[in-house]
Amino acid sequence: MITRTLAVDPDHPADEPLLRAAELLRRGGLVAFPTETVYGLGANALDADAVARIFPAKGRPAHNPVIVHLASAEDARRLVSAWPRSADLLAERFWPGPLTLVLPRAPGVPDVVTAGGPTVAVRVPAHPVALALLRAAQLPVAAPSANRSTRLSPTRAEHVRRDLDGRVDLILDGGPTTGGIESTVLDLTARPPRLLRPGLVDLPSLEAVLGPVARPGAPRDASGPLRAPGMLARHYSPRTPLACLPDGAALVEELARAGARVGWVTLTPRPAPAGVLVVPLPPDPAGYAAQLYEALHHLDDADLERIVVDLPPESDEWMAVRDRLARASSS
């Protein structure tokens, strides 16, 4: 398969590439597109054969369900069989945006979307290109992140091309994404609602709307049954071995002294031994998240032997970033 790339201005998406992409989706094709979190790998969510193509393209296990993207909350309601008041409150507050809601599925949703389970995950993305595509296609679009399974999620079209060239029909290049890490996944079928994956909408913001929310369990390995399916321990990993610790200075020093090529992700600039590639990230959770995968992609391309990351604080605001770092560093 030849993978085409079409550029789309994220501020003023032109019709032509979107109509091409929409037509491909209607014919059962795979289209990668930017969202405000990371790039997604989209297929018509109502076409089981089209969604099934996502799995080999990514190398994703079939027991991992995918998020369905919609143009509006009204469209999301058609895919679910119950829409609690909590969903209204959350949609009102956070959509379009990086929050995914898990709700009881409607009968028309194919099994391949839900991995055969009783629920479906829905979200209305905020990226102008994603919204324009959803409106042009007039379809619900099932889309996991547009990376090979277990690899870093893509925040640029180039990252998608590197992983999926020859495996998808089209990449819409809308430039770098702004949010930088994935959406928050919240299970509204649990009492109280349960956070399945921390993401760009943080726990304090959810609890301000909902009251208490249950925290995600510990990351699982791939062996047991997957109750919170996306929570495989190893995920979002660069190829370069990565170590996270509260203060990486001593380890960086030791590795550099031994002659190793080292990258160091810090919170704000820090002095480092000569030759160490330092990437300082902003000391606030949103600013840090926005640049995290970008930084890891960059370091992963720099032919290093080790990436060292200074862990951000243990507060709820940093939960999503710490979660991604823990997964990136587990082996």
Q: Residue 102, interface with ligand TXA (CB under 6 A)?
A: yes
Q: By CB under 6 A, is residue 145 in contact with ligand TXA? A: yes
DSSP character string of 168-197: SSEEEE--S-SS-SPPEEEETTSSS-EEEE
Residue 67 binds to ligand TXA (criterion: CB under 6 A): yes
Can you tell me the distance from the alpha carbon of 112 to that of 256, in angstroms, rounded to the nearest whole number?
A: 48
| Least distance from Mg ion to the Cβ atom of residue 144, Å | 5
Continuous segment of H or E residues that includes residue 92:
helix 85-94
Query: What angle do helix axes 15-26 and 128-137 make, rounded to 10 degrees?
Result: 50
Of 114 and 240, nearer to ligand TXA (C-beta) is 114
CA distance 187 to 194: 5
Which residue of the chain is nearest ligand TXA when measured via CB?
A: 230
d(C-alpha 176, C-alpha 110), whole Å: 32
Nearer to Mg ion, 86 or 145 (CB): 145
> Should residue 35 be labelled a site residue for ligand TXA when binding is judged by CB under 6 A?
yes
State which of residues 37, 86, 100, 145 lies at the interface with Mg ion (CB under 5 A): 145
Nearest approach, Cβ of residue 277 and Mg ion (Å): 26
What residue ranges in 96-231 does DSSP mark as E strands?
Answer: 99-104, 119-123, 141-142, 170-173, 184-187, 194-197
Minimal CA–CA distance to 330: which of 229, 222, 251? 222
183 lies in the site for Mg ion, by CB under 5 A? no
Contact residue for ligand TXA among 28, 216, 230, 273 (CB under 6 A): 230
On the 0-12 / 13-18 / 19+ scale of CB atoms within 10 A, 257 is: exposed
Pick one of Mg ion, ligand TXA, none as the site partner of residue 100 (Cβ within 5 to 8 A by kind). Answer: ligand TXA
Element (H, E) at 159: helix 157-164
126 in contact with ligand TXA (CB under 6 A): no
Q: What are the structure tokens assigned to 325, written together? A: 């770092």
Kindly tell me which of 37 and 266 has the beta carbon lying closer to Mg ion. 37
In the stretch 157-196, what mask flags binding to ligand TXA with x, by CB under 6 A? Answer: -------------------------xx-x----------x
Residue 216 in contact with ligand TXA, rule: CB under 6 A: no
Per the structure block, which two tokens stand in for 15?
């019709």
Q: Confirm or reject binding of residue 65 to ligand TXA (CB under 6 A).
A: yes
Confirm or reject binding of residue 66 to ligand TXA (CB under 6 A).
yes
Query: Where on the chain is the footprint of Mg ion (CB under 5 A)?
Result: 145
Query: Where on the chain is the footprint of ligand TXA (CB under 6 A)?
Result: 35, 37-38, 40, 64-67, 98, 100, 102, 114, 117, 119-121, 143-145, 182-183, 185, 196-197, 229-230
